Amino acid sequence: MILKSRPDKILVAFSYIFLVLFCLTILYPFWNIIVISFNESNDTARGGLTVFTREFTLENYKQVFKDTRLLGAFKISALRTIISTFCATLFTSMFAYGISRKQLKFRRFYLKYCTLTMYISAGLIPTYILFRSIHLINNFWVYVVPWLFSAYNMIIFKSFFENLSDGLIDAAKIDGAGEYLTFFKVVIPVSKPVYATLALFVAVGQWNSWFDSVIYITKSELLTLPALLRQIINSNTVEQLLAQLNVSATEAIVSKISTRSLSSATMIVSVVPIILVYPFLQKYFAGGIMLGSIKE
Amino acid sequence: MILSEASEKIQQRKIQSERRKCNIKEQLVLQSLVIPGLIFLAVFSYIPLMGIVIAFQDYDLFLGVRGSTWVGFKQFIDFFGSNNFLKIMRNTLSISFLKLIFGFPMPIILAILFNEIGKIKIKKAFQTITYLPYFIAWVVVSGMIISLLAVNNGTVNNFLISLGLINEPVNFLSKPEYFWPILVISNIWKGSGYGAIIYMAAIAGINPELYEAASIDGATRFRSIFVVTLPCIIPQVAILLILNISNILNTGMEDILLLTNNGDNAILNGVSEVIDTFVYRYGVKLQRYSYATAVGLFKTVVNVAMLFSANSIIRKLTDTSIW
């Protein structure tokens, strides 16, 4: 079918070369961090480390897992991810199911009320003042409550529910099931793909979220993994700056495990959960985006 | 006769009222599904919207909205008259335009090249790799950038020295002239693969007969990119381009904050301060609530105006609308 003339071969070759180079650029930063994280710290400081480890060690990881702050941050991140993902998908989808029912009065108004918030937002400061007044500052629940509802995800849920066959819901109704029973026993089980997609997206967003712990949290025991990682990386740059100024920090770098090694190992620890769910993400997200674009 | 008619009427009315009761009950159940969400939005979206009034006040945290003094447009006048205004507008627009010029075509190029790879497994592998960075936190990405560009033994410096392009390590992250390129490149690195998905779907939807017709007409595969693929995905390209342009003031700020030590890097401030980081620094850090809210409101107003015009342009071009 596809004619294989000369220029086509050139095109295919070009595509391969371009994509291979692009993928290498994507992968190298990961590889660089992996290598540093598994290499002996003093050896890394000697420089010249690029593609392979020179002195393989697990010491950096041992340090990471010894650090109680890190374990605490890991726990906070894991907790917020699990609680938020569960609550947000349930809360948002319940609303979406209600909106998807044609019998619901005022549904057009509700929909406008909802989508308006996608385009007009109050901005950082009024939100900050509100959170302050309802005591969400320095409170674990600031990681969960504001994310309970997302208009964007609601629309994806809604368009999915609207595409379910009416017969399905009517049948449940005839059997005497109320709205709630129908929702939990009929709608949720047949909507697994959309739940999987959105839950994964919420989970990744939660796990990666950094800015909220910067603005709303000052207590160190409530810091998330990205926030703590950020502090470690930052002390790394400070050390480098000192080293540049030829302060005795050069000695400090050589004498103990450098923060560069430590931050690399921490980065890997925080990326691993994402890599673990990545196959599932990939299975679903393309479909998820398409669901979103149905509306557009 | 009359009696039976009357009793029938009563009977009917009873049924009707029961049905209505039943309807009301059903309606109440339905409403109970959406009411929590409505309350949530009222609290977390609409109450803060009312909080915007502090942009016209000299807000004091302890006096609250009611107790604070009204100052009219003072905050806006202060902002537009300050040196900061020109600086942050220049930075915001420059960074957005650079991201647009260099970042926008990349997903399209990727999607087209993916489409040229015949072997499905290899194509899948390429896609898997290119999507990955989208799911990595900016904190981690910034850590990677800092590590790669490190003055002491960063790979980039080592590489450039070994090629003989530079003689001694360059501190890329504290030189203002490198800040925008670093930002744009890291955004391309992070988002291009994911951005390609929407174009991949558009390309997958193209009727194969079009390619056949083109090849019968003597078009090479290379040529059919320009006569078939690109014309077919133009609607998606146009919509995304317009949306991106209307989003021009939303530069994104995590990446900027992470590369400038939360905006505190004084050397980079001249090129790194954008509207969002400015609002964060003045509002949260310096606690100039009213001033920061005014700046944020300025951004929101411009954004909404841009979005509305974008929508009407899209509607004229394609008969679809974003809402």
Chain A CA closest to residue B134: A204
Q: Are residues B127 and B258 in the same domain?
A: yes
- Position B178 in a domain: no
pLDDT in tens, A143-158: 999 999 999 999 989 9
Cβ–Cβ below 8 Å for A215 and B280: yes
Q: What residues have CB less than 8 Å from B174, skipping those under 6 apart?
A: B265, B267, B268
Q: Are residues B36 and B108 in the same domain?
A: no
Cβ–Cβ below 8 Å for B258 and A128: no
Q: Are residues B90 and B35 in the same domain?
A: no
Q: Which residue in B158, B180, B138 sits closest to A32, CA to CA?
A: B158
Cβ–Cβ below 8 Å for A91 and B30: no
Cβ–Cβ below 8 Å for B151 and A23: no
Shortest distance between the Cα of A146 and any Cα of chain B, in A, equals 7
Domain that holds residue B260: 83-138+183-318
Q: Give helix B2-41 / helix A68-100 axis angle, nearest 10°.
A: 150
- Position B148 in a domain: no
Question: Rounded to two decimals, what is the model's pTM?
Answer: 0.87
pLDDT in tens, A18-76: 999 999 999 999 999 999 999 887 777 777 666 787 888 888 898 888 888 888 999 99
- Position B64 in a domain: no
A295 vs B290: which has the higher pLDDT? B290
- Position B167 in a domain: no
Tally of helices (H runs) and strands (E runs) in chain B: 17, 2
Cβ–Cβ below 8 Å for A179 and B26: yes
- Position B300 in a domain: yes
Q: Are residues B116 and B6 in the same domain?
A: no
Q: Are residues B107 and B16 in the same domain?
A: no
Cβ–Cβ below 8 Å for B38 and A110: yes
- Position B285 in a domain: yes
pLDDT in tens, A201-249: 899 999 999 999 999 999 989 999 999 999 888 876 666 555 555 544 4
State residue A1's pLDDT score: 45
Residue ranges in chain B modelled with pLDDT below 70: 1-4, 18-19, 21-22, 319-323
Q: Are residues B106 and B3 in the same domain?
A: no
DSSP assignment of A211-275 equals HHHHHH---GGG--HHHHHHHHHHHHHHHHHHHHTT-THHHHHHHS--HHHHHHHHHHHHHHHHH
Chain B CA closest to residue A1: B212
What CATH number does the domain containing B101 carry?
Answer: 1.10.3720.10
Q: Are residues B4 and B88 in the same domain?
A: no
Give yes or no for B266 touching A (CB within 8 A): no
pLDDT in tens, A147-197: 999 999 999 899 889 888 878 888 888 888 888 999 998 999 988 888 988
Give yes or no for B274 touching A (CB within 8 A): no
Q: Are residues B237 and B118 in the same domain?
A: yes
Give yes or no for B228 touching A (CB within 8 A): no
Q: Are residues B302 and B188 in the same domain?
A: yes
Q: Are residues B105 and B204 in the same domain?
A: yes
Number of domains in chain B: 2
Name the pLDDT band for A253 (thresholds 50, 70, 90): very low
Residues within 8 A of A (CB atoms), B 76-105 only: none
Mutate to test the interface with A, among B28, B45, B212 (most CBs of A within 10 A): B45
- Position B156 in a domain: no
Structural domains of chain A ordered from first start: 12-57 (no CATH), 66-295 (1.10.3720.10)
Which residues in B lie closer than 8 A to residue A173 (C-beta atoms)?
Answer: none
Q: Are residues B39 and B87 in the same domain?
A: no
Q: Are residues B12 and B93 in the same domain?
A: no
- Position B155 in a domain: no
